[in-house]
Structure 1
Amino acid sequence: MAAVTAVPRIKLGSQGLEVSAQGLGCMSMSAFYGPTKPEADMVTLIRHAVAAGVTFLDTSDIYGPHTNELLLGKALQGGVRDKVELATKFGKTYADGKVGIHGDPAYVRAACEGSLRRLGVDCIDLYYQHRTDKRVPIEATVGELKKLVEEGKIKYIGLSEASASTIRRAHAVHPITAVQLEWSLWSRDVEEEIVPTCRELGIGIVAYSPLARGFFCGGAKLIDSLTDQDYRKHMLPRFQPENLEKNAQIFDRVNAMATRKGCTPAQLALAWLHHQGDDVCPIPGTTRMENFNQNVGALSVKLTPEEMAELESCAAAGDVHGDRYYGMINTWKDSETPPLSSWKQQ
C-alpha cells in the first residue's frame, strides 16, 4: 500500500480558488450509504482530514437532508473553518419518494440562507447547483448566484452534472469556478465534451465517486457488506447481480495491476484521476480513518503514460455493464434549460 504523503495544493478554476489536490466527500457520513454514522466519530474524521492537509470539504443540503451540513458545522467549530475550502450544493430535494430539482431565484436564495445557518458560517466558498432545473433558464439561476457573490454570501459558483451547453450559458452570466461530475475508471463519458468544455473556459473539474462508489475498494464483494438501507444495493444498475458479476472482471484487472505497483486498487484508481491534470480534484468519500489515509496515499502513486493506457484498457467502455443511474435521471445528459427570453415573459 502506498504511504500517506503530503497533500499538494491546486488552483481550481480561474477565479482564485485554491484547494487541496484531493478533497473529502462527506455524503456517506449522513446519507444514502446505510445507517447514519456516529457524529463524534465523523467530526474526528473531518478534523483529521483537515490536519492531514485535505481541506476541500464537500457536502449538500440534500444529504440527510440537512444533517450533513449540520455535521460539518460542528466539525468546523474551534478555528477549523479558516483552514478549509467549504463546498455545498442546492437545488435537489427528496420528498414522498420523488426527487425534485429547483433553480428559480427565490429558491436559490432561500437555500443559500439555510445552508449558511446549518453550516454556521457567514460565507460558502464554493456553491454548486446540484442538478440543472430544466424548467428554469440557467441564466436566471446563475443571475441569482451572482447576486449572492456580490453580497458576500458565497465566493465562487459551481455546477454539478451540467451539459456543455448549460456550462457555456452559465459561464456567460458569471464565471463558473468548478463543475462537479462523476468521473472514474468506469465512468468516462464526460471526457467527450464536458471536460474539454471546462478546460476551454478555465473551469476546474471536481470528480465525485472517483472510486466508483466503493467498487474499486473491494470489487463485487462490496455488495455483501452493504445494508438494505444502502441505496447502492438496490438503486444503481452497475451493482445489480446481472451486471456486477461482469463488472467484477474490471476490478480483477485493476487489482492485478495494483499488486504489481505495490498499492491498493483504490489508490490506483485515484492515482489515475490525479494524473488527468492539475485542474482535476477527486473527492473520495469515506467514514473510516484507515480508508481516508489510504486515499491520501494515492497521491504518491506515480503512473507512466503506458500505465495510464493499461489502466484505461482494464475498464474499457464496452466492459462496463449497467448505467450510472436507472433512466439516467437528473444527470447532465438531459439538462437543457429554456431560453432566458421565455423566463422573462412569465
Structure 2
Amino acid sequence: MPVPSVTVGPVPLAKVATGLMRLTWAPKHTPDEQAFELMKMAIDEGSTTFNSGYFYGTPPDITANLKLISRFCEKYPDYKDKFFLSVKGGITPQMKPNADVDFLRKQVTEVNEILKHRKMDLFEIARVDKEAGPEKSMQNLLTLRDEGHFKYIGISEASADTIRRSAAVGPVAAVELEYSPFATEIEKNGVLDACKELGIPIAAYSPLGAGFLGNNWKSKDDIPEGDMRRNFDKFSDEHFEHNMELVRKLTSIAEKKGVTPAQLSIAWVGAQWAGISVLPGSTNPQRAKQCLEAADITFTPDELAEIRKVVDSFEVKGVRYMKNEHVQNSLFG
C-alpha cells in the first residue's frame, strides 16, 4: 500500500517522508549506488517527500546533499519530477541564522544552481533569525517565493509565538520540529497546538529519538566515531544507560505488536495528529523501507494509552542536541 499524504495543508507531504541528511552529513558519505537505491525505493513506495538542507555535508563540502540529489536526477531523469523537495537554509557556515533578503537570495539561487535539473519546492529557514524577527523574515521569504526560487515557505525549530507571527504575514506550508517518545516538548510548549489551530503541517524529524530506537546500540561506544550524536547530551555517559530504559520499554510493546521499535515510534508520532509528516532518515534501503511500512500501522485505543503511559511516566535525561548555550538558544526560536 503506497504511503499516503497528510490531510492538513496545501502541500503534498508524505505521511512518512524521507530524510536525506544522513546520506552525506556523516564522516563517510553513503555511496551513490546505495543512496540512489534508497531514493528510488522511497519514491516507488509513495514516500515522495524528500527533506534536504543546504548545509547537509561535512566541511569543506557542505552542499554535498544537494549535489547528491542533482546526480540522482541526472542518472534517473524519469524520477526528477516525482518527488517534493524541501531544503533548509538561512544559516551561515558558522551555523548562525541569517534571514537578510540578499543573503537568502544568494543561497536559494545557489541551491537551484546545484540541483541543476529541477528546483526545490519548499525553502525552509533552518533556525529563526531573532535579530530580523518573524515578520521581516517572512516578508523576505515571500519576496523570494514571488521571484520564483521556490513555491512554498517553511520554518524549523520555531516557537508557538513565531509560528503565529509568521503565519500572520503569509502562508507557512510546514513547520519542522523534533518529535518522538524522547522529545515531546512540542506537546507542552504550545507549538503543536499552534500548528493544529492554524492548520500548518508538522514535519516531525528525529522520530527515533536521534537513533535510540533505530539502532542496536548498547553503550555510547557503539555510536560510530565522528558521528555528531556522540556529542549529544542524551547520549552522554551520564545519561545513556538511563535513557536506554525507555528503549527497552518501547521494544517490549513493539514485540507484542509484531513491529520493530522504529516502526512503533514512527507510527506513534504519526498517530498524534493527521497533520504530522513523520521524517525518519536512514542510509540503508532495507531499513528505510521498514520505516515507510510504518505508515500502514494503526493502534487500538488501548495500545495508544499503553504507549502514552510509558512516554509520560518516563523522564528522559539530557537536553536536545549538545549542552551548550549557542545550540540551546537556537531551539524553539
Structure 1 length normalisation: TM-score? Answer: 0.89
- Whether the 8 Å contact between 2:127 and 2:158 is mirrored in structure 1 is yes
Equivalenced residue count is: 323
- Structure 1 residue aligned with 2:43, among 36, 41, 50? 50
- Structure 1 residue aligned with 2:13, among 10, 13, 19? 19
Q: Secondary structure at the match of 1:210?
A: coil
Which residue of 2 is the match for residue 299 of structure 1?
A: 295
1:162 has 2:158 as partner: yes
Superposed displacement of residue 256, structure 1: 0.5
Superposed displacement of residue 121, structure 1: 4.6
What is the correspondence of 1:1-346 to structure 2 with a 5 Å cutoff?
5-13=1-9, 16-31=10-25, 33-64=26-57, 65-77=62-74, 78-95=77-94, 99-192=95-188, 193-218=190-215, 220-221=217-218, 223-233=220-230, 235-316=231-312, 318-325=314-321, 326-327=323-324, 328-333=327-332, 335=333
Superposed displacement of residue 265, structure 1: 0.6
Superposed displacement of residue 318, structure 1: 4.8
Superposed displacement of residue 153, structure 1: 1.8
Q: In the aligned structure 1, how far is the partner of 2:27 from the partner of 2:234?
A: 18
Superposed displacement of residue 10, structure 1: 2.4
Q: In the aligned structure 2, how far is the partner of 1:45 from the partner of 1:317?
A: 36
Structure 2 length normalisation: TM-score? Answer: 0.92
Q: In the aligned structure 2, how far is the partner of 1:148 from the partner of 1:227?
A: 39
Superposed displacement of residue 162, structure 1: 0.6
Q: In the aligned structure 2, how far is the partner of 1:140 from the partner of 1:229?
A: 37
Q: Secondary structure at the match of 2:153?
A: strand
Q: Secondary structure at the match of 1:127?
A: strand
Unaligned runs of 5+ in 2: none
Superposed displacement of residue 308, structure 1: 1.4
Q: In the aligned structure 1, how far is the partner of 2:90 from the partner of 2:283?
A: 25
Q: Secondary structure at the match of 2:218?
A: helix
Superposed displacement of residue 122, structure 1: 4.9
Q: In the aligned structure 2, how far is the partner of 1:93 from the partner of 1:185?
A: 31
Runs of 4+ in 1 over 4 A off after TM superposition: none
Q: In the aligned structure 1, how far is the partner of 2:7 from the partner of 2:279?
A: 15
Q: In the aligned structure 2, how far is the partner of 1:222 from the partner of 1:158?
A: 36
Q: In the aligned structure 1, how far is the partner of 2:106 from the partner of 2:131?
A: 18
Percent of residue pairs bearing the same amino acid type = 32
Q: Per-residue displacement from partner, 1:287-326 (whole Å, max 9, x unpaired)? A: 0011111101212222122211211222336520111121
User: After alignment, is 170-179 or 299-308 more displaced?
Assistant: 299-308
Greater share of residues in strand: 1
- Whether the 8 Å contact between 1:131 and 1:330 is mirrored in structure 2 is no
Q: Secondary structure at the match of 2:272?
A: coil
Q: Secondary structure at the match of 2:249?
A: helix
Superposed displacement of residue 83, structure 1: 0.7
Superposed displacement of residue 89, structure 1: 1.0
Q: Per-residue displacement from partner, 1:122-163 (whole Å, max 9, x unpaired)? A: 532111100011211222221121122222221110000011
Which residue of 2 is the match for residue 342 of structure 1?
A: none
Superposed displacement of residue 214, structure 1: 1.3
Superposed displacement of residue 172, structure 1: 1.4
Q: Secondary structure at the match of 1:115?
A: helix
Q: Per-residue displacement from partner, 1:92-140 (whole Å, max 9, x unpaired)? A: 2334xxx322111111111110111112255321111000112112222
Give the partner amino acid of 1:88: V
Q: In the aligned structure 2, how far is the partner of 1:179 from the partner of 1:222?
A: 33
Which structure has more RCO (C-alpha within 8 Å, separation ≥ 6)? Answer: 1
Alignment RMSD (CA, Å)? 1.7
Give the partner amino acid of 2:197: E
Q: In the aligned structure 1, how far is the partner of 2:171 from the partner of 2:117?
A: 23
Q: In the aligned structure 2, how far is the partner of 1:320 from the partner of 1:46?
A: 33
- Whether the 8 Å contact between 2:217 and 2:223 is mirrored in structure 1 is no
Superposed displacement of residue 222, structure 1: 6.6
User: After alignment, is 127-136 or 296-305 more displaced?
Assistant: 296-305
- Whether the 8 Å contact between 1:159 and 1:180 is mirrored in structure 2 is yes
